[in-house]
Amino acid sequence: MNTDKPGERGTSTSQWDRFLSLLASHPRVKEKARPHYARWVRTWQKAGGAESPEKTRSFFEELSRDEQLENWHFRQAVSAVRLWCRRIEGPDWSDEFDWRALIDQVEVLEEDHPTRLREAIAIHDSPESAEEKKQRDRTPVEGKKEAVQELIEECRKAIRLKGHACATERTYLAWIRKFSYFRLRRLRQGIREFSTEALDAYLEFLALERNCSPSTQRQALNAIIFLARQVHGEDEIELNVPIRRGGRRRPPTVLTRSEVKAVIGWLEDPWKLMAEVAYGTGMRQIEVVRLRVKDLDFGRGIIYVHDGKGGKHRTVTLPQKLVPRLTSYLEEEKQRHERDLAIGEGEAHLPTALRRKYPRRGLEWGWQWVFPARKLCANPRSRHVARYHLHEKSLQRRFKEAVRKSETPKAASFHSLRHSFATHLLERGIDIRTVQDLLGHADVSTTMVYLHLMKTPGAGAPSPLDFDDFG
């Protein structure tokens, strides 16, 4: 006679009777938990968990992926299967199986754990709930959009008169816009007069509610101080909310030479050539896409970098391995440029003042972009139609896709090629001052971060794991 219960092949009725009796007499199994213990064992058996330790691990690994499953439910499932194996019918491998490891690997972090504390427990300095504050921050303020835009235009004018970089303009205006709406919505204040109390409140908001890093808080502070001094005319600003100093800058991502080769191997021209130029010269992403034909000096073996970060100019070495590829690539681009000239479309955009002085210079081959966009585009101000360079976002997308295809586990971006360039030169014994000049760093302390990323940091000190007498 078949004594198997439906769904439990190989499990006799007597075994289940013994298990239910065991659950009823077990001091740590509550009465309401007994049916659940039996259910977990049946589910484990149906999944074939009793066949091998690998099947059991696979069963519990799948179980752990269930977001609705509470941590105590998982512990209960492990306890049930362990009890069955030890007291009823244990496979040969069950005595050596590490059941505790299953529980330890899914231990959930408490809300007051250091990793979760700042995210789980917020500061409430008013009777309003966090959701009520968020709702008020999103509420439109009628008639104030134009006032904020007018303030933004004043700040834009002041920034350009100071000659700040485009990135600074974009960052400052974004923070000033956020600060203005914070005053209008959260504090119910006007924005035409500077208020130290509003600045303190905004810095507290960034630190306590937004959990922004110290560097982000300082960036916001710099933007608001610029607003106060250059637009509102406030010279004396007393800050009552301290901003702690951040720790050492997070080390940048550096690829090994084999990883660089693997990632670049998944790219196609012109993206591949752009990546090779970046890794071979240490140029920034925006510097690569803004290269013009005249900047490549094949005779002297150098590349001129104009208007780099901080408006600085420098020269970098033109990799000799790239000369044949660049030459062939530029010959094709020149033929395309000549075809464009024949139909009246072979012009590259120039700075407005330069084009006003030399109207025909944008048609010259030397002023063409090395990596031009295929579509013509109108100048936002003059509406003059000509050609810009490739968009750096498209380059970022292509590079990210190549990183994924190469199965490189690092969080690498296109800028990682610049970090890799500096680190690999230092590993080959190149003087740090030379690397500083090639990168265009104003201070050698900026370049020194790469000393900590070399294969042999700490003057080549070995790891204790590599000693001969270990293991």
- Residue pair 49/59 in contact by the 8 Å Cβ criterion: yes
Edge-first strand listing for the sheet containing 302-305: 296-297, 302-305, 314-317
Quote the pLDDT of residue 461: 55
The secondary structure element, H or E, covering residue 303 is strand 302-305
Helices 214-226 and 196-204 meet at what angle, rounded to 10? 160
Q: Which residues of 24-37 are buried (b: 16+ CB within 10 A; e: fewer)?
A: eeeeebeeeebebb
Residue 405, pLDDT > 80, answer yes
Residue 168, pLDDT > 50, answer yes
Higher pLDDT, 113 or 454: 454
Tell me the DSSP string of 30-59. Answer: -GGGHHHHHHHHHHHHHTTGGG-HHHHHHH
Same domain (yes/no): 449, 389 = no
- Residue 375 and residue 171: Cα distance in Å, rounded? 28
Q: Tell the burial category of 278 from Cβ atoms under 10 Å away from its Cβ (0-12, 13-18, 19+).
A: buried
Quote the pLDDT of residue 6: 42
Average pLDDT over residues 358-375: 85
pLDDT band at 109 (very low <50, low <70, confident <90, very high): low
Q: Is 387 helix (H, G, I), strand (E, B) or coil?
A: strand
- Residue 315 and residue 440: Cα distance in Å, rounded? 9
Same domain (yes/no): 373, 344 = yes
Same domain (yes/no): 323, 353 = yes
Residue 401, pLDDT > 80, answer yes
Quote the pLDDT of residue 89: 82
Average pLDDT over residues 9-14: 64
pTM: 0.70
Higher pLDDT, 189 or 128: 189
Q: Would you say residue 384 lies in a domain?
A: yes
Q: What is the CATH number of the domain that holds 201?
A: 1.10.150.130
Average pLDDT over residues 400-428: 90
Tell me the DSSP string of 449-463. Answer: GGGGGSSSHHHHPPP
Same domain (yes/no): 209, 314 = no
Structural domain total, the chain: 4
Quote the pLDDT of residue 329: 92
Domain of residue 432 covers: 416-460
Same domain (yes/no): 203, 98 = no
Q: Would you say residue 161 lies in a domain?
A: yes
Q: Would you say residue 110 lies in a domain?
A: no
Same domain (yes/no): 382, 432 = no
Q: Is the Cα dihedral 110, 114, 116, 122 positive or negative?
A: positive
Quote the pLDDT of residue 402: 93
Same domain (yes/no): 294, 372 = yes
Q: Would you say residue 436 lies in a domain?
A: yes
Which of 122-136, 161-175, 253-267 has the least mean pLDDT? Answer: 122-136
- Residue 29 and residue 75: Cα distance in Å, rounded? 12
Higher pLDDT, 345 or 289: 289
Q: Please list the active-site residues.
A: 284, 309, 415, 418, 441, 450
- Residue 242 and residue 348: Cα distance in Å, rounded? 49
Cis peptide before 372 (omega within 30 of 0): no
Q: Would you say residue 273 lies in a domain?
A: yes
- Residue pair 29/23 in contact by the 8 Å Cβ criterion: yes
Same domain (yes/no): 345, 420 = no
Q: Would you say residue 382 lies in a domain?
A: yes
Most confident of the ranges 142-146, 387-391, 414-418: 414-418
CA distances from 361 to 271, 348, 368, 375 (A): 27, 9, 10, 20
Q: Would you say residue 198 lies in a domain?
A: yes
Same domain (yes/no): 214, 99 = no
Quote the pLDDT of residue 7: 41
Last residue of a domain, one of 86, 104, 122: 104
Expressed in angstroms, the distance from the first to the final Cα of the chain is 57
Quote the pLDDT of residue 177: 92
Which of 243-252, 282-291, 296-305, 321-330 has the least mean pLDDT? Answer: 243-252
Average pLDDT over residues 126-133: 60
Mean of the per-residue pLDDT values of the chain: 82
Q: Would you say residue 132 lies in a domain?
A: no
Quote the pLDDT of residue 1: 31
Which of 98-112, 157-171, 175-189, 434-448 has the least mean pLDDT? Answer: 98-112
Same domain (yes/no): 444, 389 = no
CA 146 to chain centre: 34
Last residue of a domain, one of 208, 231, 254: 231
Same domain (yes/no): 174, 68 = no
Quote the pLDDT of residue 5: 47
Same domain (yes/no): 282, 365 = yes
Residue 173, pLDDT > 90, answer yes
- Residue pair 447/435 in contact by the 8 Å Cβ criterion: yes
Last residue of a domain, one of 176, 205, 231: 231
